[in-house]
Structure 1
Amino acid sequence: MPCSAPRRKPSSRGSGGSPSSLSPPRRRAGRSSSGGPTWRRHSTRSPGPPRRTCRLPEELPKPARDRRKRDEEFEPRALRVRFRPEPAYSLFGRLAARNGETSCRAFAAEVGLRYFGEVLAGRRVEAVENLAGLAGSDIARYTAVSSGPRQVVVLNGETLLARSWAPKKRRYCPRCLGGDLRGTVENDGPRPFRPYRRAWWDVVHVDNCPIHCCELLRACPACAEPIDADCAWPWRCRCGGDLTNAAAIPRSPNECSLDRYVVGRLGGCEPLPSRILDGVTLEAAIWAAFYVGWIADHGRALDMRRADHATKAAARRRGLELLADWPLSFEALLDAMVEDVPSRDMQSLSPRTAYGALSMWLARSPEGSLEPLRAAVRNHAEKSRRSAPSGVTFTEAANQLGVTRKTLVAVAEQLGLLPSGTDLRSRIVIDEEAVSKVRDLLTRTLGQRHAARFLGISVPAFQRLVDAGVVATHDPVVTGRRDRTYSPQELEHLLGRLSGDVPECHDLVGDLAGLPAASFKGRVGLDRLLPAVLDGRVRPRGRLPSAPGLQGILVSVGEVVALHGHRSDSMLLEEAAKRFGVNYWGFRGLVRSGLIPGRQALGRTNKRWWVRRADFERFCDEYGTVRHLAERYDLSRIVTRAIIDKLGLKHAPVPPGHFVEVYRFRDVEAALTGSQEARDHRARRKRRPKRPLK
């Protein structure tokens, strides 16, 4: 590494400045205001001995590691404490404290890991196990792993959203830590390293410790500051304060009911059974309890401006109480809400009109496991509806059935319930018997939104499966994408073919992920991934019973990446741009303009573009930049550009914002080969003598 040029000290003669001035203003050569010469950057004075302002190559510090270690290459460090049901970042913190470090980040940098990017995110669990000498333990079961475009967190087989998981906002129970520190179990290792963090302390919906019936604290009792997420000691603060000395805030068992239910499902205490909520994911169960409790205490309208944290916690406890003896208390709540509906709306009573926020949340939620709750709400609205003897209109019947009026008209025409020549713009009345026939037909089919929810994917992803032929439409087929119907039996058969006889598993080990998450990570669309699973190219490794539809079928992300990672007929857009000699966004403009066809991997973020190698070779044979033109016709780039500008040759059109110019060879060949400028330039290049080799 060459040393930088030494800085010369400016002269103070006649400039009016002090000789000790550090950074005088640099002016052009000339006279200063005092009459003396100004300092020049390139002075003719002798600079004196040079000063070394940089290190020589042999003095540079060596990097901490030459490459990233594999999980099995970490040497164990003694912890001498028994295994606890704790997450990997809790074990890592105790290990850091055991080795004399108070910062988890510093210890992670010492051993060759990244704390916030790997350990706290649950990505290097096996490395932490090997580092602690606990290889083969059950730490991965109690460590949350985020995956998928929706950022779903899986903890002990239960599914939560990433916004419900906050390990950086550390909370603790002083009684749990005190019990670990003052335990009487013999041969349990050194006492200072016995306390550990519970995984359910980091769940946002858990506010209290159900074991000791006290509130989870976040501040240190000594300095009254929040606990730093980087602190290694589970029971100490950065200031040295003892967290076990914090005064516990007692709570009644009724106030800890929802906390007991959530922690029980996560394996932290004795589970609190619930007949209806145990069959859905943990995130859906928490929000179902919230909406049921909200409509019971505050009515059918939901105002989130009033829903602070304490109000939400009270609504969740109330909802859990109403759903405990399913379906008695829940149906009594629905009866009370129907009594408040005006009599004029009872004839066309819909779930949204009767139950408000609860019905809207059930309709919008993508969780397929909430179907029993949706069916209960729908059946109660149907039972409570008082139809007039003369029948109902098509609009009212569509509201009852939860479909559009267009769908109802098409189904009625197919069943022969609508006379021919009926003016569809007029007020059409349909009797209750005809409504029952339509309802029987609709129960045997699913709409697009309900079918996508059944598979646990979004509506656009489901539509791509339909376009690829993976999912077939079911009669009746109505004009318009929203009115297509699908058979639930066929969807069940598809899930059975995908899962096969794979065993059940309760955690994500290694690079396993659900089909939508694996599609997102592997940059392969579901329309390509599902056929690969069906024909055996990707083998399902397990089934997660708590996840709905395709989210519960686990595959290896490495196998998904291999679907396109070793393909010889395609290349990434970055590689194609590098080979063509332009930047990425310039080549992206060529793809957008249609000059070269490209395809995009399915996913919501970080979408990768691909081009076929045959299309790329064809494009290179037909088009080229100024550099390619100069090399092809034996010209310099300056002469090529001059000829193009003089003759006014047009480049291929590209969208605005993509600064790239390509020309078709056959359009500029005559100008670059037959023009006088080109012939003169070639003649001069031939007469130019070659330089002798040294």
Structure 2
Amino acid sequence: MSGIGNRVPFHPDEVLTSFLSRLSMSNFSFSAREFCSLLGMDFQKIVAGDRSEVAHLLTMAGIDPDLAADRVVSTDRLLHTINGETLNRASLVRSRLRYCPCCLEDDIRLGQERREARPYVRMQWLLSFVRSCPVHGIMLQEGVSGDGIYHDYAKLIEAEQAQPRYRNPSIKGRHTQFERYVTDRLWGRRNADRTWIDGLPLYVAGRLCEWVGATIMFGKRFIAKDLSPAQWSEAAQTGFDVVSKGRSSFVDFLKSLHDTFWEKRSHVGGRVLYGRLYERLAHETDDAGFDEIRMIMTETAIAHLPMGPGDEMFGPVTTRKLHSIQSVSKEMSVHPKTLRKLLQGAGWITADMANLTAERILFDASDLEAFVESTRDAIGWSEARTYMNASRAAWNTLSHEGFIPPAISSAEGSEGISPFYHRADLDHFLERLRAGAKADHAEASGWVSILDAAKKANCRYGEIIELLLDGKLENASAYSEKAGLEAIVVDLAEVREKTKLEDHGGLSLVDAGKSMGMQSLVLEKLIDRGYIAAEVAINPVNRCPQRIVRPREIDRFESEYVSLFNYAKRLGIHFKEAKKNLEAGGVAPALTKEVVAATFYRWADIRAAAFKFAALNISFAFA
């Protein structure tokens, strides 16, 4: 037979087996299978999408086989391929009829061929994800499977039209963006903005949208069989709103399900975290098409929860990114209460963590493991002081001024814990001190301990430590028979010299009085009355504040005033004779004994009386 007599149009959106069934019906054949047998074709091969057999059918029907390439359903074991898109059995409904009764009535009304051969099955009706008709805005109806007439859609439609439900009013249904998306993909139309979802097999993308939406709308433990088609339609759209935004949006959805973890004290696994979504992928299907979803769920759980070796998430977990206090305590054999106290003292536990249980306080796994490891040989502040054989004052300096870094610091404002130190760090510090104490010890009275040297030289303890560490003390030694800091002795004289502060450049009141030839009492009164300027400076030796007088201030005062005693000394006469001569020349005291405890004259007044002194043949002196 070179061709088929009664031909029917192959509609642009028609399923290939629907076209074959209508051809059979148009040619009055009992069934599509029988029709193929009469034409020498293999019905089952056409159903399976055998390219050669499909081409044979279309050629006999007068249709270019290339025009129907995008409507051939190819089957490979459990998966089907349409137009390059992959679908599994559950997502491609071929064993029973799904239809829009209004569309079928339109076909009958508008068709020209034999009436029974007019209604046809649309490609999108095969997709389980499509539940509504975009043309009529109603939910698709589902017919019963016809015994022995699978894929023979004209016969199935004929049988369905005889059912009472076919005439019942249809349920209205919104055709969703999700349904348009899966239909577009079926026809090779993809949105470039949805690269991640487009990279998933169509059946995976569709099912994921349904599961995500059902979880959001009906909870983690939703019961699939209890949801109506309309509810599934809304759930799929809700899930599509999440999944279509990309991988990161799906990850955010997964993280939102972690509330269960924070609400419980016990450890949680995939079933508790992700509910039916996890159960489906872990126990109800081993389909490799979902492996990427399993991987993302595993990575998200590991990245944000204390999951690691010993846990299960689609199989044994082999890596860990986060530890809780509880998990690291179990893994590294440390008591969780002790560890919590250490972490709190070190400032790791912030205020927002304070009320969380040990199972819910999380840290980077490697950081927390390193912290725990650092506590293995660490000793407390008091024990470290004993280990160093140091006085409380000495150890305060070493620990507070950063000479020895703590293994575990005590955070500012923390209570109940002091810093911890590694013995290795303490030993290293002592070795450095001994390296700086390289002289042979001399049994002399000037060699003292570091602490005694600091007291007697009026310097800080830390200054001597710095000199030793820098190797700047020539006379420092270490007793081999003594331990810790007590083994180090230094030369007090050298310490005094090398810790002495820079000279302030002034004279103490005692030294200034000697320089000016007056008693300290007189100098103090001159200062108090404002005749001599004094200032406070730090003594470079004892580091105490002291009043000083600058040399230039002494020069200024002595150029303006002279005491009666110093004036007489210049002339080599008794002060009483000097006073008598000054009175004879008419020179009166500028400062009296009653005011400053000594008598002072102005040089200017003495110079002014020079002619009178000469006339009276009285000796005098100038500044």
Q: TM-score range by the shorter chain?
A: 0.3 to 0.5
Relative CO higher for 1 or 2, CA cutoff 8 Å, sep ≥ 6?
Answer: 1
TM, length-normalised to structure 2:
0.43
Which of 1 and 2 has greater Rg?
A: 2
Identify, as 1 or 2, the structure richer in helix: 2
TM, length-normalised to structure 1:
0.39
